[in-house]
Amino acid sequence: MPTIVKGRNSYVTFRGLNIGSALANEAGLAISGEELDTRVFGSDWKAYDQGQSDAVLSVKGVWDAGTATTSLDAVLFAAINGGGTSLWEFMPQGSSSGRILYKGNGIPTSYNVSAPVAGIVGFDLTVRCSDTLVRSIAA
């Protein structure tokens, strides 16, 4: 029987800032592999080979309007405004040792702040993995 994991303990960091336990209310990691069409003329069937892999981290949550340089808004704004690649970590089961840890370096491809009239100000961050995604067990 599979182990059911509740998302409420998920842990996400970006540039060393703990987003998951303090501000995020949704996080996800999409991992995909490219398919390369390798068929040749005269073939009746398609043939494929695996190309490069890709990973995208997405995080949504409550926007932090702090003025410190370590606030969520300051960190994400600096990162998307030419900050280069940044280390991120995602632990869907929580940050305890023995849990699955995904981590990589990535570039933020979008950072959105939304302010609905009948709700709280929120943020939405998308980070594309640059180079290798690592899956390990946290120490």
The domain locations on the chain are: 7-30+49-137
pLDDT per residue over 85-126, tens digit each?
A: 999 999 999 898 999 999 999 999 999 999 999 999 999 999
Q: Looking at per-residue confidence, does 48 or 68 come out higher? A: 48
- Position 66 scores a pLDDT of 80
pTM above 0.75, yes or no: yes
Residue burial 116-134, b: 16+ Cβ < 10 Å; e: rest: eeeeeebbebbbebeeebe
Return d(Cα 20, Cα 78) in angstroms, integer.
19
Q: Return the pLDDT at 5.
A: 84
CATH superfamily of 7-30+49-137: Hcp1-like (2.30.110.20)
Predicted local distance difference test score (pLDDT) of residue 2: 80
How big is the chain, counted in residues? 139
The letter for the amino acid at 103 is: K
